[in-house]
Structure 1
């Protein structure tokens, strides 16, 4: 397994263990290997999980330190670039995954389960193009594959909890109805990913997947937060044109200062998520279709909000937050 130091990867490692699999996690150098070992609430994980440090960017090191000459039945990858910036995306989402695919074929792997993203349906950004390029390589590899494309994660939609709890308004792009998603929890997504190894209906397929319930807009997310706090809703609208102006300015400055070009790409990522729904895209109409977006699991985003407001720890959101 790859990507076990992330929140989805950590949950997936636990789901695989609960299903009786022997799991070897390949951790990139300098990653926090301890992060793959959650607390005792995940039964059996500390004792049954094997962690190996392997440089996935180096095919020789990957084979020597990761696969180590052993035979494996399957690879499950939750690995992703940390920022989505072009260089990082092509190095990790594409090239490193190609290295893993080649090593997997030599190790006798029969099934490759890939955590991708639903946003690759409309690939306007470098990280989406990199993911699609590897998806195509995996499909053409001859291995059995399951490509999982989840909708929004709970952690991506948790950034305004403390803001609202502190009495500030909920920020919206436009009127808050530009986009919608069917958020999925770490646990529900992990169970779906692990189930790909056993459920033949998920073999050799691209699998969009969301959480339970109806699709929800950012405005509905804010309304739910205020209702859980027993307060009247308060919103502040941010025009999308402001993001366009920021992107334009950073792009011009980036011609002279490379670090600003990278910031421009991050701003483009933010704009994408502010204006595109995380739902199945109907290629015939060009519209997002909530009814065509499959659902799984039992935990809703509002269950998650309730838990965090009740004292549960909010997840680390890293480099992927818009707010």
Structure 2
């Protein structure tokens, strides 16, 4: 394996941290451009970022600023590739277009100026059916990257373990597991941080992953929310208990917030967040067959070894920590 010099964006997120570790294990030189106050709510000081990203070079700047990308990030130095796990915090339209699209455009331009020839981008499988602002923003940058002339790998993972961990404490307290509809409206192939990070890192060296859009899930069959709940109850040694939430309730919330949002912009943003919640409650995170309009679990590739059931078991036993979910939390 040939060691490369990489600029990494989005390094302080959970997937980003795992990706930095995976890149370092492969012998790459990793330079991370992070905010001076990173993390959820800007709680991380510079020393926190340096500790989390031990082994990498940590530089501080603003990924939304072309000048900062050039002077604080690339610094006129040679880099082989750009790796990005950068994403907007909650998917609100303004944030999505600023980060998922515009900041990436700035980074792409700075990378080209620095002579970078390859980019690995963490995207999302939900851009297959772009009904929301953050999906449209991600998809717009994907198209810009494809047209850029750089060698690219666009990785579209299914659900992360952390996004499926929001009800662990709720169930521990003896409450039922919440599902929308009957809990079988959708499905996904959950993937762990480590398995996804390894997949991203290997894109740098695998010719078969060059200039491709790569949907990817974790090992095992696709799981519905009800099946995810059953795995959680099994890990905790309890009988499954579910509470069904009608999707119509989300529709009502969206309609009310959208109406009020015409007067109060802050409520318009909340309406969009509610639309995001509804999307994830009803759409599968699997490969979408464009001909039939149906999601196809069999066509969704798998990678790695960590299963959601195993992850829940580790949490129940205390051998793994509950992941920080931040602004992505629904429950």
**Normalising TM by the smaller chain, what interval?**
over 0.9
1:182 to 157, 182, 189: 189
1:171 to 157, 162, 178: 178
In the alignment, what sits opposite 1:42?
none
Structure 1 position 167, deviation (Å): 0.6
Q: Does the Cα contact within 8 Å between 1:5 and 1:35 map onto a contact in 2?
A: no
Distance 1:36 1:113 in 2: 22
Structure 1 position 36, deviation (Å): 4.3
1:132 and 2:167 aligned: no
List 4+ stretches of structure 1 deviating above 6 A: none
Mapping of residues 1-323 of structure 1, within 5 Å: 1-31=8-38, 32=44, 33-37=46-50, 46=54, 48-311=55-318, 312-323=320-331
Could you tell me the TM-score, scaled by structure 2's length? 0.94
Q: Does the Cα contact within 8 Å between 2:189 and 2:218 map onto a contact in 1?
A: yes
Using a 3 Å threshold, how does the CA distance of structure 1 residues 35 and 8 change in structure 2: closer, same or farther? farther
Q: For the aligned residues, what is the CA RMSD?
A: 1.1
Structure 1 position 279, deviation (Å): 0.3
In the alignment, what sits opposite 2:3?
none
Could you tell me the TM-score, scaled by structure 1's length? 0.96
Q: Does the Cα contact within 8 Å between 1:181 and 1:215 map onto a contact in 2?
A: yes
Aligned length: 317
Q: Deviations over 1:244-285 (max 9, x none)?
A: 000000000011111111110100000000000000000000
Distance 2:102 2:253 in 1: 31
Distance 1:320 1:266 in 2: 10
Distance 1:76 1:266 in 2: 27
